[in-house]
C-alpha cells in the first residue's frame, strides 16, 4: 500500500503516533502528517480531518484528538493525543470504566434502615438508624414505603431517635477543585431525589404513614450500632445509575459512583484519596502511567482533573474488549441524534445513530469521547478535547464534523 508523508512546520496536523516517528526528527516544532492513498477510506478520512484541524479556530485554542480503529488494531489520527487536558464530563468515562471494573456489573447502591429496641403497645422503645449508601436514585416514594412499613409492623410512635449514619464518605460537600459557584447537590450519603432534604422528607413520611411525635430535634448524626437489626433497604443497580450519569451527564450521580469506589478501601468516611489506588491500578492495566494524570473527582467539574485523549481512548478500548464491561458502558452512552446529551446533535448526517459517546462541557472546555461505526463496519474509538474555546458551540461544531467524517463513505 502506498503511503504519502508530508512535513509541515505547523503546530497542527495529524501526527504519526509514537512508533511511527523518526527518532531523529525534532518533535517540538514539526508535526508529521502520515496519510494513506486517497483510494482508501482511511486516506480520504485523514485528509478531511486534516483540513478541519487547520482551521483558524486552532490558532487560538488547543486541540487533543485521537482516533483508533479497534477492528483493525491501528491508530488513525493522533493530534496532541498525549497532552494533559481538562476533560470536563468526559471524566465520567474514567469513572464509569473504573466502577464497572472494581465494583462489578451487578453492583447495587443501598440505603438501609435498621431498628434497635422493641415494640410495646404500638411504641418502638428504641431507635431507627439509616445507613446512607450515597444512592442518587433514592426517591421520596421509596422512603415513604419504609415509613409505611414501620406502621404496618404495628408502630405508631417512636420513643428514641432517628440516627443518620453518614460514614460512607467524608464530610466534604464539594469535590476537590470545584468552584464556589458550581451549582451542585451537596455530596452527602443520604439524599432524596438528588436533593439534600432527607430529614425533612422522612419526618413528613412518618407523619403521612401514621407515626407522629417525631421532629428534627430527635434526628442526629451517629453511627449505626452493630446490635441494630436490618428492617428494610432500598437498592438500585449500577446500570440504572450509569444511565442517567452518562446519558444526562448528571454530576451528582457520577460523584455517587466515585465514592462507591472510594468505599472499597474499607475505610469509614472515605475520601477522594481512598479511591486513587483503584484508578491507578486501572490506568496501569491499560498500559499507561498513573503519575502522568490527575483524577480529582468523578464528574469532571474539578479544575484539577488532567487526562489525555490517549488515556480516554485506552479506557474505552479496554472496556470494549472486556465482555463484563462493554454492554453496560456502551448502553449508557448518549447516541447521536437519538438520546441524552447528543439527542439534538448530528441529526440527518452519517453520524446519526453511529456515534455512541460521552459529551463534556465546562467553561473553556468542550469534549467528546466514545465509539463510532465506520462505513466499513469497523468500530472506531475516539476522543476529542477542545480547550480554550470561549463558546461551547466552537468545540461542538468541530466535534460533530469530525464524527461525520468518521462515519461517512
CB 320 within 8 A of CB 376: no
pLDDT at 22 over 90: no
Which DSSP helix (H) or strand (E) runs through 234? strand 229-237
pLDDT at 13 over 90: no
Q: Which of 237, 258, 284 is the last residue of a domain?
A: 237
- The answer to whether position 397 is within a domain reads yes
- Across the range 11-35, mean pLDDT stands at 42
Q: Which of 237, 257, 282 is the last residue of a domain?
A: 237
Same domain, 230 and 313: no
Q: What is the pLDDT of residue 384?
A: 98
pLDDT tens digits, one per residue of 77-107: 999 999 999 999 999 999 999 999 999 999 9
Q: Where are the alpha helices (DSSP H) in 89-129?
A: 91-102
pLDDT at 9 over 90: no
pLDDT band at 34 (very low <50, low <70, confident <90, very high): low
Q: What is the pLDDT of residue 14?
A: 57
pLDDT at 1 over 50: no
Q: What is the pLDDT of residue 2?
A: 34
pLDDT tens digits, one per residue of 106-125: 999 999 999 999 999 999 99
Least confident of 30-44, 140-154, 239-253, 352-366: 30-44
C-alpha cell at 370: 466514545
Q: What is the pLDDT of residue 17?
A: 60
Same domain, 54 and 127: no
CA 55 to mean position of chain CA atoms: 31
Average pLDDT, the chain: 92
Distance CA 85, CA 308 (A): 6
- The answer to whether position 295 is within a domain reads no
Same domain, 124 and 225: yes
Domain of residue 180, residue span: 108-237
Q: What is the pLDDT of residue 180?
A: 87
The pTM of the full predicted model, rounded to 2 decimals, is: 0.92
CB 356 within 8 A of CB 371: yes
The count of structural domains within the chain is 2
Same domain, 122 and 61: no
Q: Which of 188, 213, 237 is the last residue of a domain?
A: 237
Amino acid at each position: 500500500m502506498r503511503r504519502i508523508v508530508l512535513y509541515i512546520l505547523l503546530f497542527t496536523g495529524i501526527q504519526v503516533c509514537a512508533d511511527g516517528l523518526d527518532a531523529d526528527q525534532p518533535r517540538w516544532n514539526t508535526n508529521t502528517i502520515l496519510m494513506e492513498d486517497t483510494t482508501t477510506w482511511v486516506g480520504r478520512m485523514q485528509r478531511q480531518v486534516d483540513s478541519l484541524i487547520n482551521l483558524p479556530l486552532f490558532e487560538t485554542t488547543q486541540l487533543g484528538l485521537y482516533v483508533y480503529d479497534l477492528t483493525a488494531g491501528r491508530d488513525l489520527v493522533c493530534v496532541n493525543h498525549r497532552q494533559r487536558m481538562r476533560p470536563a464530563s468526559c471524566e465520567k468515562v474514567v469513572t464509569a470504566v473504573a466502577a464497572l471494573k472494581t465494583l462489578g456489573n451487578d453492583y447495587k447502591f443501598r440505603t438501609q434502615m435498621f431498628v434497635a429496641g422493641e415494640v410495646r403497645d404500638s411504641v418502638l422503645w428504641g431507635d431507627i438508624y439509616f445507613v446512607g449508601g450515597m444512592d442518587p436514585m433514592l426517591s421520596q416514594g421509596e422512603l415513604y414505603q419504609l415509613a409505611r412499613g414501620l406502621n404496618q409492623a404495628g408502630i405508631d410512635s417512636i420513643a428514641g431517635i432517628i440516627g443518620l449514619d453518614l460514614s460512607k464518605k467524608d464530610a466534604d460537600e464539594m469535590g476537590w477543585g470545584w468552584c464556589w459557584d458550581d451549582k451542585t447537590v451537596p455530596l452527602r450519603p443520604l439524599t432524596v431525589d438528588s436533593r439534600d432534604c432527607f430529614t425533612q422528607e422522612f419526618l413528613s413520611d412518618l407523619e403521612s404513614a401514621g407515626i407522629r411525635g417525631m421532629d428534627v430535634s430527635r434526628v442526629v448524626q451517629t453511627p449505626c450500632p452493630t446490635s441494630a437489626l436490618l428492617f428494610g433497604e432500598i437498592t438500585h443497580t449500577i446500570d440504572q445509575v450509569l444511565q442517567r450519569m452518562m446519558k444526562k451527564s448528571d454530576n451528582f450521580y457520577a460523584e455517587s459512583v466515585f465514592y462507591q469506589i472510594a468505599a472499597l478501601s474499607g475505610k469509614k468516611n472515605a475520601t477522594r484519596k481512598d479511591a486513587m489506588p483503584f484508578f491507578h491500578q486501572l490506568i496501569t492495566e491499560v498500559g499507561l502511567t498513573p503519575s502522568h494524570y490527575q483524577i480529582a473527582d468523578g464528574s469532571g467539574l474539578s479544575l484539577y482533573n488532567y487526562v489525555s485523549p490517549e488515556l480516554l481512548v485506552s479506557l474505552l478500548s479496554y472496556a470494549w474488549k472486556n465482555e463484563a464491561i462493554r454492554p453496560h458502558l456502551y448502553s449508557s452512552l448518549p447516541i447521536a441524534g437519538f438520546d441524552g446529551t447528543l439527542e439534538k446533535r448530528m441529526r440527518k448526517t452519517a453520524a446519526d445513530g453511529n456515534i455512541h459517546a460521552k459529551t463534556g462541557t465546562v467553561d473553556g472546555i468542550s469534549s467528546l469521547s466514545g465509539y463510532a461505526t465506520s462505513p466499513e463496519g469497523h468500530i472506531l474509538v475516539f476522543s476529542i478535547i477542545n480547550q480554550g474555546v470561549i463558546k461551547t458551540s466552537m468545540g461542538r461544531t468541530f466535534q460533530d464534523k469530525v464524527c461525520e467524517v468518521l462515519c461517512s463513505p
